[in-house]
A and B are shown apart, each in its own frame.
Chain A
């Protein structure tokens, strides 16, 4: 039986998604500059 998730979607928030992308890009840039 498929379960419906309504509130538990971490990536649902667009602001969170943008912040996550920025953060991961910064981490990647930092790693490559080391």
Chain B
């Protein structure tokens, strides 16, 4: 596995760069997307599925910038579905 990892990282970086300019009115959105990305499983980060979602979101946001939140939301939802469950109990 891992064949798509580097390409996925590159696509995600491109998507972030593009969306940073388009979400300047809400600067909390990009860090949130990054945190979703960081919490995703490593197998998903290297998957063809993520590659497809990123390619689609990237090309769509280029065509329809006024739908940027639709594509960010789609990506966040996809990443959330592949998140590592890491709920640590809080020590009192």
Contact = CB atoms under 8 A, between A and B. Distances in A.
A12 interface: yes
Interface residues of A, number: 15
A10 B66 contact: yes
Chain B contact surface mostly: helix
A10 B69 CA distance: 10
Contacts of B68: 10, 16
B69 A23 contact: yes
A30 B36 CA distance: 11
A16 B22 CA distance: 12
A4 interface: no
Contacts of B70: 13, 15-16, 19
A15 B68 CA distance: 10
Interface of B: 22, 25-26, 28-29, 32, 65-70, 72-73, 76
Interface of A: 9-10, 12-13, 15-17, 19-20, 22-24, 26-27, 30
